[in-house]
Amino acid sequence: MTRAPDHTLLASAPSVPSAGAGWRSLGPLAAVAAWLALTAFVAQSDLSLQSLVLVAAVFGILAISLDLVAGMLGLYSLGQGGFFGIGAYLTTIVSNTDGWPVFWLLPVVLAVTGLVGMAVGAMSLRVSGLYFAITTFIFTLVLTVLVTDMVGLTGGLQGLLGPAFPDFPPALAWLGTPVVWCIMLALLACVGLVWNIRRSPLYPVLLSIRDAEPFAEAAGARTALIKVGIFGLSAAMAGGAGWLFSFLGVVSPSQFDWSVSLNILVMVLIGGINTTLGPLLGAMFVSMFPDLVNINPWLQEIVYGALSILAITLLPDGIVGRVQKLVSPVAGRRAPSGSGRDVAAPQPAAILPAAAPHSSAGEPEVIVECRGIEFGYDLGPKVLRQIDLTVRRGHIHGLIGPNGSGKSTLANVISGRLRPHGGEVLVKGRRVERMPASARSKLGLRRTFQAAQLIKELTLVENVMVGLFDRVPGIVARAGVWPLLPSGRRDSRAMRHHAAEALRLVGAGEWAARPVGDVPHGIEQLTQLASVCVAGPDIIILDEPATGLSAKEVSHLAAILAQLKTRGVTMIIIEHQTRFLFPLCDRVTVLNAGEIILTGSADEVRADPVVRQVYLGE
């Protein structure tokens, strides 16, 4: 059986735009018009107002750049000050010494800071959380020391006077101060970029990399590349802010040191992390505070510190996050009518592969094979020893064994989360043991996880859309302009439609618009299954899918799996509940202490005295 090509998936999407789409697009247009009017006003105002607004705008760009990685990827970078400094110093030094026109310098600054950012971001593949924050903090610290010490080049603590921004041609002089237009339009572009990314299908993928990376990998996302790329984009944005800042006066080390990085983080937290406007509001508050509260500087620091602590502790979601929670419709958070903890009956769905043709004679071909698999965690003992496993197309293959016998480890080896130390894994006859999980998903292999890997703050539909990542071309490349492209809007509608269809198939359709954090465990399990089914896979690995389900939910799950089997989907199911598993299985493999002790039919396994003793405890 072959998977449907991408265009088939998209061609079957509903083509009717949602009602009110036209009106909704007026909102952003009105916001852009208001922004241009504000810019025109500031461009004609006095210098003190201009400098207040422009510094806030530059910090707005910096806060947005940090939110891109901290809010969407969970990478709390304290390196933004460093990238900001690189942008400002590069612009100032090159334009002062070589006389380069400043607009030529912009692509250079973006490229240099983007590349440095990608190198720094690559560290996030090795360290995360606090360690990543400390590493990026050291990066900024070292840069500050370097620019302070290299007096001949950087002017040391005194700094350098930045270049002048070119004037408008005489015909445009009526627009006012050109640098105001440049900075305000750059900020608008940055807001537009993140606004677009939030409305693209890349957004749930980024959040899944942040909260449930194995889920994103299993859906075909090359998470390492995406992380490094987004970090590079964030660094380039910060570098661009440095380019803009160099036109505002003197460029000196104190403007880019570690405390600036920390301040940018405070801006994001106060305004609202992972929101479009929050970082901007936070930047306005923090950068305008000293001018608005014109008191003794010592007292001012104390008041600012106290206010920041109060804001972060009392409003952990930030100002915008809090407002969003207050205005989000209460009705949307109520349980769907009549659903309770129950699930609806499974529905036939168009997204599944058509029923497989019966094989002409004999046993179906082998679709997954493990030969002599050996694996151990780090320096610990071997967890898998000489595992030979053969799974045939269209079969349900059960994997049972006592706790700790190595079932999940074997699932991870087959799906690509773990690389075996010895042996071979073949999927559809291809050696895959060196392929990452994302590449195996392209072979039609998908999986669910023992502990549901989902994004709690997103709805079920949005989670299931992650499962379509490698079925829709150009999600990453188009993300920055997604809602502006007719193809983007069409693909979004198609993806939403298929995700809703997959949820309906597994019987969780009524919960589709609810955030995962609000649904019971059984619905989470079904959502995982829907995120897999939506891609129309040939092979599914299910790791303890019945754990935590009620008896009714377990029989519902059995009906769905039986339906998938009739459509030719091959399944490897790890499960302790043999009463649920055995009736479904064509073959069952029993693992004990990392070794296979038996493979046979459910009846053979049930009757085997060793299995009864080792596993069934008889």
Ligand X SMILES: Nc1ncnc2c1ncn2[C@@H]1O[C@H](COP(=O)(O)OP(=O)(O)OP(=O)(O)O)[C@@H](O)[C@H]1O
Q: What's the first-to-final CA gap in the chain, in angstroms? A: 42
Nearer to ligand X, 223 or 409 (CB): 409
Q: Which is nearer to ligand X, 324 or 577 (CB)?
A: 577
Minimum gap (Å) between residue 206 Cβ and ligand X: 25
* Smaller CB separation from ligand X, 360 or 403: 403
- Minimal distance, residue 407 CB to ligand X, in Å: 4
- Token pair 């990827």: residue: 73
When the beta carbons of 264 and 368 are compared against ligand X, the nearer one is 368
Instruction: Count CB atoms within 10 A of the CB of residue 119.
Output: 13
CB of 383 to ligand X, least distance (A): 4
Bridge partners (DSSP) listed for residue 542: 573
Residue with Cβ nearer ligand X (163 or 401): 401
Write down the residue that tokens 């460093």 correspond to.
82
CB 69 within 8 A of CB 132: no
**Minimum CB–partner distance for residue 223 and ligand X (Å):** 18
Helices 202-211 and 223-245 pack at an angle, to 10 degrees, of 110
Tokens encoding 126: 């090795």
What are 454's two structure tokens?
């989902």
For the beta sheet containing 366-376, the strands, ordered from the edge strand earlier in sequence to the opposite edge, are: 382-392, 366-376, 422-427, 430-431
Give min distance, CB of 377 to ligand X, in A. 3
Is residue 574 a contact partner of residue 544, using CB atoms and an 8 Å limit?
Answer: yes
Q: How far is the CB of 401 from ligand X (least distance, A)?
A: 5
Point out which residues pair with 574 in neighbouring strands. 399, 543
Cβ-contact 453, 214 below 8 angstroms: yes
Min CB(181)–ligand X separation in Å? 54
Between the alpha carbon of residue 434 and those of residues 169, 408, 418, 572, 610, the distances in Å are: 59, 18, 9, 20, 35
- 599, burial (CB in 10 Å: exposed 0-12, middle 13-18, buried 19+): middle
Q: Give which of 133, 135, 132, 147 is closest to 85, Cα–Cα.
A: 147
Residue 174 or residue 377: which is nearer to ligand X going by CB?
Answer: 377
Beta bridge partners of 592: 595
Cβ closest to ligand X, residue 481 vs residue 593: 593
Shorter beta-carbon distance to ligand X: residue 397 or 407: 407
Residue numbers at the binding site for ligand X (CB under 6 A): 377, 380, 383, 401, 403-409
Q: Whole-number minimum distance, CB 545 to ligand X, in Å?
A: 13
Q: Report which secondary-structure segment, H or E, holds 484.
A: none
In the complex with ligand X, the residue whose CB is nearer, 491 or 544, is 544
CB 565 within 8 A of CB 584: yes
Tokens representing 427 are 């999927």
From CA 409, how far away is CA 391, in angstroms rounded?
17
Q: By C-beta, is 112 or 387 nearer to ligand X?
A: 387
Shortest distance, CB of residue 561 to ligand X, whole angstroms?
19
> CB of residue 381 vs ligand X: minimum separation in angstroms?
8
